[in-house]
Amino acid sequence: MPFRFTELELPGVILIEPRTFTDERGFFMETYKHRDYAAAGLTDAFVQENHSRSTRGSLRGLHFQRQPAAQGKLVRAVVGEIFDVAVDVRPESPTFGRWIGQTLSADNRRMLFIPPWCAHGFCVVSESAEVLYKTTAEYAQEAEGGLMWNDPDVAIAWPIINPILSERDRRWPSLATLASAHPNAIAV
Protein backbone atom coordinates (compact mmCIF):
# COMPACT_ATOMS: atom_id res chain seq x y z
CA MET A 1 0.00 0.00 0.00
CA PRO A 2 1.39 3.43 -0.88
CA PHE A 3 0.31 5.00 2.43
CA ARG A 4 0.54 4.26 6.14
CA PHE A 5 -2.39 5.78 8.06
CA THR A 6 -1.98 6.26 11.82
CA GLU A 7 -4.80 7.60 13.98
CA LEU A 8 -3.30 9.89 16.61
CA GLU A 9 -4.32 10.49 20.23
CA LEU A 10 -7.11 12.79 19.07
CA PRO A 11 -9.46 10.33 17.32
CA GLY A 12 -10.10 11.32 13.72
CA VAL A 13 -6.77 13.14 13.31
CA ILE A 14 -4.74 10.91 10.98
CA LEU A 15 -1.01 11.01 10.27
CA ILE A 16 -0.38 9.88 6.68
CA GLU A 17 3.01 8.65 5.57
CA PRO A 18 3.30 8.09 1.82
CA ARG A 19 5.61 5.50 0.32
CA THR A 20 8.41 7.30 -1.50
CA PHE A 21 10.43 5.97 -4.39
CA THR A 22 13.91 7.51 -4.64
CA ASP A 23 16.75 7.20 -7.11
CA GLU A 24 19.57 9.35 -8.50
CA ARG A 25 16.97 11.73 -10.06
CA GLY A 26 15.17 12.48 -6.80
CA PHE A 27 11.90 11.00 -5.55
CA PHE A 28 8.32 10.21 -6.53
CA MET A 29 5.33 9.67 -4.27
CA GLU A 30 1.58 9.60 -4.46
CA THR A 31 0.07 12.17 -2.09
CA TYR A 32 -3.57 11.25 -2.55
CA LYS A 33 -5.39 8.21 -3.93
CA HIS A 34 -9.13 8.10 -3.38
CA ARG A 35 -9.34 4.29 -3.07
CA ASP A 36 -6.60 4.08 -0.42
CA TYR A 37 -7.92 7.04 1.56
CA ALA A 38 -11.46 5.65 1.46
CA ALA A 39 -10.20 2.26 2.67
CA ALA A 40 -8.66 4.11 5.65
CA GLY A 41 -12.03 5.78 6.39
CA LEU A 42 -11.22 9.15 4.81
CA THR A 43 -14.16 9.31 2.42
CA ASP A 44 -14.81 13.07 2.11
CA ALA A 45 -14.01 14.59 -1.27
CA PHE A 46 -11.54 17.45 -1.44
CA VAL A 47 -12.92 20.52 -3.24
CA GLN A 48 -10.29 23.24 -2.75
CA GLU A 49 -6.51 23.40 -2.44
CA ASN A 50 -4.53 26.22 -0.80
CA HIS A 51 -0.83 27.09 -0.85
CA SER A 52 0.91 29.38 1.63
CA ARG A 53 4.48 30.54 2.09
CA SER A 54 5.64 31.81 5.46
CA THR A 55 8.90 32.81 7.13
CA ARG A 56 10.48 31.40 10.29
CA GLY A 57 8.44 32.19 13.39
CA SER A 58 5.17 32.78 11.52
CA LEU A 59 2.09 31.25 13.12
CA ARG A 60 -1.13 30.84 11.15
CA GLY A 61 -4.23 29.89 13.10
CA LEU A 62 -6.05 28.58 14.89
CA HIS A 63 -8.85 28.55 12.29
CA PHE A 64 -12.04 26.58 11.66
CA GLN A 65 -15.27 26.95 9.72
CA ARG A 66 -18.75 26.29 11.11
CA GLN A 67 -21.42 24.19 9.38
CA PRO A 68 -22.52 24.01 6.68
CA ALA A 69 -19.01 24.90 5.49
CA ALA A 70 -16.87 23.04 8.07
CA GLN A 71 -13.61 21.95 6.45
CA GLY A 72 -11.60 18.79 6.82
CA LYS A 73 -7.99 19.46 5.77
CA LEU A 74 -5.17 17.38 4.34
CA VAL A 75 -2.00 19.33 5.18
CA ARG A 76 1.62 18.91 4.04
CA ALA A 77 4.78 21.00 3.92
CA VAL A 78 6.42 20.95 0.49
CA VAL A 79 9.27 23.33 1.45
CA GLY A 80 10.75 23.65 4.94
CA GLU A 81 9.27 22.45 8.22
CA ILE A 82 6.19 23.29 10.28
CA PHE A 83 4.67 22.28 13.58
CA ASP A 84 1.05 21.53 12.66
CA VAL A 85 -1.72 21.57 15.29
CA ALA A 86 -5.34 20.41 15.52
CA VAL A 87 -7.63 21.28 18.47
CA ASP A 88 -10.99 19.60 19.14
CA VAL A 89 -13.56 22.43 19.29
CA ARG A 90 -16.72 20.29 19.77
CA PRO A 91 -18.23 21.37 23.11
CA GLU A 92 -19.97 17.99 23.59
CA SER A 93 -16.83 15.96 22.88
CA PRO A 94 -14.90 14.12 25.61
CA THR A 95 -11.74 15.49 23.97
CA PHE A 96 -13.01 19.11 23.79
CA GLY A 97 -10.03 21.49 24.02
CA ARG A 98 -7.42 18.77 23.53
CA TRP A 99 -4.77 19.30 20.89
CA ILE A 100 -2.38 17.23 18.83
CA GLY A 101 0.77 18.48 17.13
CA GLN A 102 2.99 16.94 14.46
CA THR A 103 6.11 18.02 12.62
CA LEU A 104 5.50 18.09 8.88
CA SER A 105 8.39 18.80 6.53
CA ALA A 106 9.60 18.52 2.98
CA ASP A 107 12.10 15.96 4.29
CA ASN A 108 9.73 13.64 6.21
CA ARG A 109 6.91 14.06 3.60
CA ARG A 110 4.25 13.34 6.22
CA MET A 111 0.73 14.67 5.87
CA LEU A 112 -1.93 15.30 8.49
CA PHE A 113 -5.67 14.87 8.01
CA ILE A 114 -7.54 17.27 10.28
CA PRO A 115 -11.30 16.62 10.69
CA PRO A 116 -13.85 19.42 10.19
CA TRP A 117 -14.46 19.62 13.95
CA CYS A 118 -10.94 20.84 14.67
CA ALA A 119 -9.37 24.26 14.77
CA HIS A 120 -6.14 24.17 12.78
CA GLY A 121 -2.92 26.14 12.88
CA PHE A 122 0.79 25.81 12.26
CA CYS A 123 4.05 27.59 12.93
CA VAL A 124 7.17 27.67 10.79
CA VAL A 125 10.34 26.31 12.38
CA SER A 126 12.63 26.45 9.31
CA GLU A 127 13.85 29.58 7.50
CA SER A 128 10.65 29.47 5.45
CA ALA A 129 7.98 26.92 4.62
CA GLU A 130 5.46 26.33 1.90
CA VAL A 131 2.33 24.48 2.90
CA LEU A 132 -0.26 22.88 0.65
CA TYR A 133 -3.60 21.79 2.00
CA LYS A 134 -6.71 20.36 0.45
CA THR A 135 -10.09 21.08 2.05
CA THR A 136 -13.40 19.22 2.03
CA ALA A 137 -15.42 22.46 1.77
CA GLU A 138 -14.74 25.73 0.02
CA TYR A 139 -13.73 28.77 2.04
CA ALA A 140 -16.78 30.67 3.31
CA GLN A 141 -16.02 33.93 5.11
CA GLU A 142 -19.40 33.92 6.91
CA ALA A 143 -18.58 30.52 8.45
CA GLU A 144 -15.09 31.50 9.61
CA GLY A 145 -14.08 31.14 13.23
CA GLY A 146 -10.92 31.01 15.26
CA LEU A 147 -9.33 30.27 18.57
CA MET A 148 -6.62 32.17 20.44
CA TRP A 149 -3.27 30.62 19.50
CA ASN A 150 -1.96 30.78 23.08
CA ASP A 151 -5.13 29.95 25.02
CA PRO A 152 -3.82 28.85 28.45
CA ASP A 153 -6.67 26.34 28.85
CA VAL A 154 -5.63 24.56 25.64
CA ALA A 155 -1.90 24.99 26.43
CA ILE A 156 -0.36 24.13 23.08
CA ALA A 157 3.39 23.53 23.39
CA TRP A 158 4.38 25.64 20.38
CA PRO A 159 8.10 25.33 19.51
CA ILE A 160 8.40 29.12 19.07
CA ILE A 161 8.14 31.92 21.64
CA ASN A 162 7.18 35.20 19.95
CA PRO A 163 5.35 34.27 16.76
CA ILE A 164 4.65 36.54 13.83
CA LEU A 165 0.84 36.77 13.69
CA SER A 166 -1.70 38.39 11.42
CA GLU A 167 -3.91 41.05 12.98
CA ARG A 168 -6.88 38.68 12.67
CA ASP A 169 -5.05 35.84 14.45
CA ARG A 170 -4.18 38.19 17.35
CA ARG A 171 -7.88 38.81 18.02
CA TRP A 172 -9.38 35.31 18.23
CA PRO A 173 -11.07 34.56 21.60
CA SER A 174 -10.23 31.82 24.07
CA LEU A 175 -12.07 28.52 23.76
CA ALA A 176 -13.95 29.15 27.04
CA THR A 177 -15.05 32.62 25.88
CA LEU A 178 -16.13 31.26 22.53
CA ALA A 179 -18.10 28.41 24.09
CA SER A 180 -19.82 30.51 26.78
CA ALA A 181 -20.47 33.76 24.93
CA HIS A 182 -21.55 32.18 21.67
CA PRO A 183 -22.90 28.64 22.27
CA ASN A 184 -23.39 28.01 18.56
CA ALA A 185 -20.21 29.81 17.49
CA ILE A 186 -18.20 26.61 17.43
CA ALA A 187 -20.89 24.29 16.14
CA VAL A 188 -18.80 22.43 13.64
Q: Which residues are catalytic?
A: 63, 133
Phi, psi (deg, nearest 5) at residue 100: -135, 140
Q: Is the peptide bond before 62 cis (omega within 30 degrees of 0)?
A: yes
Find, among 70, 126, 117, the residue nearest to 98 by Cα.
117
